[in-house]
Chain A
Amino acid sequence: MSRKQREEERVRGIFARRAALLGIGQIGLLGFLAHRLYRLQVEEGERYATLADENRLSARLLAPPRGRVLDRQGLVIAGNQLNWRALLVAEHTTDVAATLETFTRIVPLSDAEKARIEREVRRRRRFVPVTVREFLTWEEMARIELNAPDLPGISVDVGTTRIYPEAEHLAHMVGYVAPPAERDLDGDPLLELPGIRVGRAGVERHHDLALRGRAGAVQLEVNAVGRVIRELDRREGVQGQDVQLSVDAELQKSIRGKIEEGTSIVLMDARNGEVLAMATQPSFDPNLFNSGVSPAQWRQWTANRATPLINKATNGLYAPGSTFKMVVALAGLEARVVTPGERINCPGHMDLGDARFHCWHRAGHGGMDMRAALKHSCDVYFYELAKRVGMDRIAAMARRFGMGVPLEIELPGARPGLVPTREWRQAQGKPWALGDTVVHGIGQGFYQLTPLSLATMTARLATGRAVQPHLTRAIGGRPVRGSRPEDWPSLGIPDAHLRLVRDAMWSVVNEQGGTARTSRLPPETGAQMSGKTGTTQVRRVSREQRERGFRVEQLPREWRPHALFVGFAPHDNPVFAVAVVVEHGTSGSGAAAPLARDVLVEAFQRLRPGPGGMLRVAEASR
């Protein structure tokens, strides 16, 4: 028994040691877990707290409504309307292609659309919704909602879309909007939202930042599958600002109704440079850009030789012809190479070396002083004057009048045009001959000027101030600089010179024998127009044709000369400046001047310059 007891004791001892070892080891391992918990919860706690917040917090952007574009009377010319659209969130579906396939059975998608959607899905982050289809009808929207269980990742929401109530009438000025392209992504998170549009042309593009506004954001708490549990924080965005333009939409529409293809008319407030109307034909409907222009439509626009997408008032380039003669006259006066009273004889042509330069009046005007030369548009007088002044001084004067230089008009892509100089010609590797100067004295030759720059020249002539043409009156209800005449510096041309030229322009319209005598304003306007006609050849008339007794009416239309007219009114206290270019209109006095008269009559009627000369306007409401 004692042996047994001894063994019992021994076994008990071994067991006690081993059990204690096991127990201590196990408690030690639990202690290790405690240490591990300390590491995770205290030492790394902050990092994990951040990760937990990243899990549960989701910021979503709120798209502010795009600002409207208004005309000077407050009429909406670019606004927003409701738009039902289907969106796809890639991370909510396992198979984007399958979802789109199911969607196609409900609302048909073309292969091109599917390709675009899949491209956008790849380009954007997986939680950013991608627009599948916009402008859903109510019925399509209902069908999508009904089939929602079979369309993982698809949701329908209501957004806004741009609408241009005046359609093509103001398209060249307002421009249009389109989904942002890769190059538009400037870091503004707003541009990543589905259905967002950026301005692509015209004022929409120039004032895009003001119109766009700033994105708001909501901070949401979401669960593991992305369902929104509650809204934690909301920061409202800044709504896009309304932009009020100086144009009058009704006047613009009415003017566009009067003109044919290839005609451009620019009507400005001569005192401050505000563009009141800028009409060209043909134009395009900017609403079509909303849903994406179809390839067929695009081909139709680009293949059309009349270039409906191009604003001929800012991008059409023409020789100014006789409308340029005022500039030559002022250059001559400033250079003191001529006095107003000096008479230059016009025998119907001028010889220079073995070249002969004809006056439009083959029989000759006889002795002409400056006023008479402008009134009758005598070419020989200005050949001689140009020869005396030289091209450099003519070009310098032209630039002071806004020709051949960039203008401040808010239309991206507007062309500055070209006033040739000797350097310019020499840069082309060609010499500048005296004959070139002579030709450029009557506005022919290498000039490439836009109707807008002709209107600018006229406005500066009428006011003596370096006004810049512009379209914006107010942004977000705040007027922009430049609406008062005092905002613009003087041209620095002596009043006497300007008065002489203006007086000559008055005689063009209002005196017996003036080239635009038939286009004077009717008495009910209570004002008189001053102006200058111009006719520019698009093909050289050969001597042979001249001798055969050539008449332009016999030419095919596209060979006939362009007709031009620039003018301002009222003569004594100019308010309006107008420039008209009628492509292939044959004669400035016959085609362009009557249009200018009609435009001014309408402008007086509609805008009614008041006692202080202020034009009718409605202040923009925010």
Chain B
Amino acid sequence: MSEFRPALRFERRLLSRERGTGIFGKLWQIPWLLVLLLCAVAGIGYVALYSAGGGGVEPYAGRHAIRFGFGLVLMLSIALVDIRLIARFAWVGYVVGVGLLVLVALHGQVGGGAQRWINLGPVQLQPSEFMKIMLVLALASWFHRASWERIGNPLFLVPPIILILLPAALIFRQPNLGTALIICMIGGAVIFAAGVRIWKFALVAVAIGASVPLVYQNLHAYQRARITTFLDPESDPLGAGYNIIQSKIALGSGGFWGKGFLQGTQGHLNFLPEKQTDFIFTMIAEEFGLVGALMTLGILACVVAFGFLVALRSRNHFGRLVAVGLSSNYFLYVFVNIAMVTGTIPVGGVPLPLISHGGSAMLTTMLGFGLLVSAHVHRDVEMAAPRESG
């Protein structure tokens, strides 16, 4: 904590071009390539939403651009916040996140058969999205303090597992199986990166495998239906399997070059469900073909890869773990969403952040990227792990 000196002179903080110090210095350090990539992703979203809106700025594309603008400001603001400050208040964020999950369980808005939303006047907040980021911070903070020996101690692993399972259980009760699993995977990614031995993961995997039948019995009927229709979508072509079938038809019929901008028949004739949110990628693939789909996928992959590069270049453990966790978070969004619309895994109501229409996911995603950029900006900051003090 000795490096954290708020008493630096204003001019120096403002003008220093030294790494990690001064506002201009920090702005210099911001990875503008990543910002460019994110703008490209949002631009793809704008084009797709323009088409989903029937060829108009209203009702989706315009609002998407405005939200992204706000999101960009939020991201850059957070990027300038010192990572040590973030590490210090990681626990507060985690507690707030869990508190919001409890609140949504008690007073949430029902959406899609589950309590997921908190209505904050103009904004509807989905606490589970916020929770993912706070979990990453909390876990990173925990393992940042750990010495190699302590990581080897099984008892040391109990608190992080509780950190993961508490929000996962709350989200599972909403009920939202998909997000609960994603929470576990993000947590798993951080723990894995922190260096926990592989055989311990194998043990957990076996335990999970053994509990699958038990979990399946406690699944909601609609969750079971999703699994059944995933395994055989044609069994219920007008009911639950309709979304998957129509999405695959839209994707496949796009072919190599696509049907052309605003020419997607599946999307524009409303065969494609929820085309502006969960199935926005289908819209892109139908109108711009394999070419457009792979370009989109490529840019998204670059974003994920960039996150890992940030992690590898960071010299403090907190920054590394935050970067891995947040990159994995974005990767899981991308993977689950595209796997879902291609009929590779069951439909789970996961949007494609920065492309899908929706404010809550956009803001939490940009919050996450803000933290990632902060980790990059402050990659050389020395963070003493307060081993004993806690």
Contact = CB atoms under 8 A, between A and B. Distances in A.
A41 B290 contact: yes
Nearest to B258: A41
19 contacts: A11-B195, A19-B320, A23-B308, A26-B331, A30-B300, A33-B342, A37-B285, A37-B294, A41-B251, A41-B252, A45-B252, A48-B252, A52-B252, A52-B253, A52-B265, A221-B269, A223-B270, A223-B271, A225-B270
Contacts of B339: 33, 36
A41 B335 contact: no
Contacts of A11: 148, 195, 317
A400 interface: no
A571 interface: no
B251 A14 contact: no
A23 B305 contact: yes
B311 interface: yes
B344 interface: yes
Could you say which interface size class chain A belongs to?
35 or more
Interface of B: 147-148, 189, 192-195, 246, 248-256, 265-266, 269-271, 285, 289-290, 293-294, 297, 300-301, 304-305, 308, 311-312, 317, 320, 324, 327-328, 331, 334-335, 338-339, 342, 344
Given A40-B248, A44-B252, A56-B271, A23 B304 contact: yes
Contacts of B324: 19, 22
B343 to A, nearest CB: 8
A98 interface: no
A221 B248 CA distance: 20
Most buried by B among A7, A20, A42, A47: A42
A224 to B, nearest CB: 4
A42 B246 CA distance: 17
B273 to A, nearest CB: 9
Contacts of A229: 269
Contacts of B301: 27, 30
Contact of B294 (A10, A34, A47, A223): A34
Interface of A: 7, 10-11, 14-16, 18-20, 22-23, 26-27, 29-30, 33-34, 36-38, 40-42, 44-49, 51-53, 55-56, 221-225, 229
Contact of A30 (B193, B255, B304, B327): B304
Given A55-B271, A223-B270, A22 B189 contact: yes
A55 B251 contact: no
Given A45-B256, A48-B252, 10 more contacts: A10-B148, A27-B305, A29-B331, A29-B335, A33-B344, A36-B342, A38-B290, A44-B252, A51-B253, A56-B271
Contact of B297 (A14, A30, A42, A52): A30
A67 B172 CA distance: 69
A29 to B, nearest CB: 6
A47 B252 contact: yes
Contacts of A26: 304, 308, 327-328, 331, 335
A224 B268 CA distance: 9
A55 B290 contact: no
A20 B148 contact: no
B134 to A, nearest CB: 20
Contact of A19 (B255, B294, B311): B311
Contacts of B285: 37, 41
Contacts of B271: 52, 55-56, 223-224
B331 to A, nearest CB: 5
B252 A33 contact: no
Given A41-B252, A51-B253, A223-B270, A22 B328 contact: yes
A9 to B, nearest CB: 11
A41 B265 contact: no
A221 B263 CA distance: 13
A11 to B, nearest CB: 6
B72 to A, nearest CB: 24
A36 to B, nearest CB: 5
Contact of A48 (B249, B256, B269, B317): B249
B319 to A, nearest CB: 11
